[in-house]
Structure 1
Amino acid sequence: MSSPERVTADLLVIGAGPTGLFATYYAGFRGLRVAVVDSLPELGGQVTAMYPEKAILDVAGFPSVKGRELVEGLVEQAATADPTYLLDRTATTLTADEDGVVVGLDDGTEVEAGAVLITAGIGKFSPRPLPAGEGWVGRGMEFFVPSFAPYAGKDVVVVGGGDSAFDWAQHLEGIARSVTLVHRREAFRAHRRTVEAVQASPVEIITKAQVTALRGEGTLEEVEITVDGEEPQVRPCQAVVAALGFVADLGTLQTWGLETEKRHVVVDSSMRTNLPRVFAAGDITEYPGKVRLIAVGFGEAATAVNNAAVAIDPEAHVFPGHSSEAD
Structure 2
Amino acid sequence: MTHTTEIYDLTIIGGGPVGLFAAFYAGMRQAKTKLIDSLPQLGGQLTTLYPEKYIYDVPGYPAVKAADLVANLEKQLETFDHDIFLEEEVTNLTQKEGHLEIETNKGTHYSKAVILAIGNGSFQPRRLTIDGADTFEDQSIHYFVKDLSTFSGKKVAIAGGGDSAIDWALMLEPVAEEVSIIHRRPEFRGHEHSVEKLKSSSVQILTPYIIDELLLEAGSFYGIQLKHAKEKQVRRLSVDSLIVNYGFTSSLDHLKDWGLDISRHSINVESDMSTNIPGVYAVGDISTYKGKVKLIATGFGEAPTAVNNALHFIQPDARTQPMHSTSLFEKINPEVFSG
Distance 1:109 1:301, change over 3 A: closer
Partners of 1:133 and 1:141 within 8 A in 2: no
Describe the superposition over 1:236-257 as per-residue Cα deviations: whole angstroms up to 9, x where unpaired.
2313211112222458655311
TM-score of the superposed pair, with normalisation by structure 2: 0.70
Question: Is the 2:7–2:99 contact (alpha carbons within 8 Å) kept by the matching residues of 1?
Answer: no
The aligned residue for residue 13 of structure 2 is: 14
| Partner Cα separation in structure 1 for residue 165 and residue 39 of structure 2 | 26
Q: 1:221-241 CA distances to partner (integer Å, 9 max, x unpaired)?
A: 3421413x3332414231321
> What residue is the counterpart of 1:210 in the other structure?
210
User: How far 1:143 sits from its partner (Å)?
Assistant: 1.4
1:118 deviation in Å? 1.3
CA 1:246 to 1:52, structure 2 compared with 1: closer, same or farther past 3 Å? Answer: closer
CA distance in 2, matches of 1:38, 1:278: 15
Confirm whether residue 24 of structure 1 aligns to residue 26 of structure 2: no
Mind listing any 5+ residue stretches in structure 2 that lack a counterpart? Answer: 331-339
Query: How many residue pairs were aligned?
Result: 312
Match of 2:334 in 1: none
Partner of 1:36, secondary structure, is strand
Whether 2:132 is the aligned partner of 1:143: answer: no
State how 1:245-264 maps to structure 2 within 5 Å: 245-249=247-251, 253-260=255-262
Contact 2:38 2:123 in 1 (8 A): no
SS in structure 2 at match of 1:220: strand
Q: Is the 8 A contact 1:119 1:282 kept in 2?
A: yes
**Aligned 1:164-313 pairs, distance under 5 A:** 164-185=164-185, 188-217=188-217, 218-227=220-229, 229-238=230-239, 239-249=241-251, 253-260=255-262, 265-267=267-269, 270-282=272-284, 284-285=286-287, 291=294, 297-308=299-310, 311=313
- CA 1:19–1:230: 2 relative to 1, 3 Å: same
TM-score, normalization: structure 1? 0.72
The farther-off stretch of 163-172 and 244-253 is 244-253
Cα pair 1:41 1:87 within 8 Å, conserved = no
SS at match of 1:199: helix
SS at match of 2:303: helix
Q: Counterparts of 2:294 and 2:283 in 1: how far apart (Å)? A: 12
Distance 2:247 2:299 in 1: 20
* Cα separation, 1, equivalents of 2:117 and 2:253: 14
Provide structure 1 residue ranges, at least 5 long, that are not aligned to the other structure. Answer: none
263 and 247 in structure 1: CA distance in 2 versus 1, 3 angstrom threshold: farther
Distance 2:136 2:199 in 1: 28
Find the aligned partners of 1:321 and 1:187 in 2 and give their Cα distance. 54
Q: After TM superposition, give the deviation of residue 12 of structure 1 in Å.
A: 3.2
Give the partner amino acid of 2:203.
Answer: V
Q: Residue 171 of structure 1: CA displacement?
A: 0.8
Mapping of 1:114-133 within 5 angstroms?
A: 115-120=113-118, 124-132=122-130
Identity over the aligned pairs, expressed in percent?
Answer: 32
Q: Judge conservation of contact 1:92–1:105 (CA < 8 Å) in 2.
A: yes
